[in-house]
Structures are given as C-alpha cells and as structure tokens.
C-alpha cells in the first residue's frame, strides 16, 4: 500500500538539512531502486522554487510500504529526523487516483 510521509521542518532546520541531505537522498534512492517510490521532494517555505534562506516547511514522500507501522519506522529513521532538520513527521495511508 502507498503511504504519505510529511516531514515537518524544525526551527532553524536549514543547516541541519543541508548537512544530512546526501544520507536522506540515499534512502530515497533505495526506495526508487526497489520500485517503491512514487514521489519525494521538499516543501519551500515561500512561493519560490529556490526559497534561499527562507528554507523549507518540510518534505513530502509518497512510497509503498508493507504496513503503516513500517512506513512510520522508515520515517522515524530518516537522517533529517536524527540531524534535527525535521521536528517529526506525519504518516498516512495514501490512495493514488490520478494520473
């Protein structure tokens, strides 16, 4: 089943995000290599593709997991959580409709 993971940016998380970005992307690449990643990306804090020092409000990941618990465990183990870039995350089942 698909799950939506919404990582919430921590106060001042921009530097910690940059420092842990490669590890975060590595986990996403692993999901993609397994054919489980639907989409992933950051949520700019302002209406701009490159928010600069305004940073991000968080990140969105939609991927396939065997269960809600496994999706939560994956989110909790993210390098952004361990680095303090994310203050936490929400995980919800996701039903893709379009396209």
Each residue of 17-67: pLDDT tens digit?
Answer: 999 999 999 999 999 999 999 999 999 999 999 999 999 999 999 999 999
**pLDDT, position 89:** 96
Predicted confidence at residue 99, as pLDDT, reads 86
pLDDT of residue 10: 97
Give the DSSP H or E segment for 44.
strand 37-44
Contacts of 44 (CB under 8 A, 6+ apart): 50, 51, 54, 56, 57
Instruction: Render pLDDT for 79-99 as a digit per residue (tens, 0 to 9).
Output: 999 999 999 999 999 999 998
């Amino acid at each position: 089943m698909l799950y939506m993971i919404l990582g919430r940016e921590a106060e001042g998380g921009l530097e910690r995000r940059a420092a842990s970005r490669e590890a975060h992307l590595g986990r996403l690449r692993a999901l993609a290599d397994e054919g489980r990643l639907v989409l992933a990306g950051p949520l700019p804090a302002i209406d701009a593709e490159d928010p600069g020092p305004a940073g991000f409000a968080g990140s969105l990941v939609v991927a396939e997991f065997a269960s809600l618990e496994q999706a939560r465990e994956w989110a909790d183990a993210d390098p952004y959580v361990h680095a303090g870039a994310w203050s936490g995350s929400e995980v919800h089942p996701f039903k893709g409709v379009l396209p």
